[in-house]
Amino acid sequence: MIRIGVLAIQGDFAAHARAVGRIGANAIEVRRANDVASLDGLIIPGGETTTMLKFIEEEDLAAPIADFARARRPIFGTCAGAILLAREVYNPAQASLGLIDIVVERNGYGRQVDSFIAEVETSIEGGPLEAVFIRAPRIRRIGPEVKVIARLNDEPVLVRGGNILAATFHPELTEDLRAHSLFVEMIRSFDRSVATPCIA
Ligand code: GLN
């Protein structure tokens, strides 16, 4: 069975673990650097990026996550997770892992409408996707290699750059599991195309 790690610092990792279970993969809670290398995929959930960054630093998690990405293993960041994966973050500027070529504005919808649900257009089969945005970031720029998989009003909200998938919304909070299923597909196609195991 596919083993998907869910970074379990704070926030809604339990909802991601349930979503992973519902699509037939095994969810593993990740808290320590040693937990990362043996996974097939890693989810970085929503939460508060400042808290998450502090934990990542304290537990020396940045290097194992970067190694995991370099080994072409799939990583899925949602909301705060997408912010952590971005190349550049502003409002305010803060450190990030720089694993996908996107520029992200934190809390990009402002305080007035900080949380909302919207139907977003997607290239994933099955029509528009219901998306829950909670103090969501906005993807303000994407690199040439990054593909847009879903948009809200012409703005990217789900993007893929190589083995990295990033959503500004919370796909784990709806019944529609197509974003998680896409992530599992990325993991499966990795397994088919690469013979060497993940670097330890
Ligand atoms: N606004 C949060 C941050 O910038 C992210 C919000 C979320 O993950 N729901 O850290």
- Give residue 113's pLDDT band: very low, low, confident or very high (50, 70, 90): confident
For the chain, the structural domain boundaries read 3-188
pLDDT (tens digit, 9 = 90+) per residue, 57-80? 999 999 999 999 999 999 999 999
Q: What is the pTM of this model?
A: 0.94
Tokens at 189, concatenated: 């196609």
Share of the chain above pLDDT 90, in %: 90
pLDDT (0 to 100) of residue 190? 80
Instruction: Determine the atom of ligand 1 nearest the C-alpha atom of 78.
Output: 8
pLDDT (tens digit, 9 = 90+) per residue, 125-179? 999 999 999 999 999 999 999 999 999 999 999 999 999 999 999 999 999 999 9
Question: In the CATH scheme, what is the code of domain 3-188?
Answer: 3.40.50.880
Give pairs for 20-26: CB < 8 Å, separation 24+. 20/180, 22/177, 23/177, 23/180, 23/181, 23/184, 25/1, 25/184, 25/187, 26/1, 26/2
Active-site annotation holder among 172, 175, 185, 198: 172
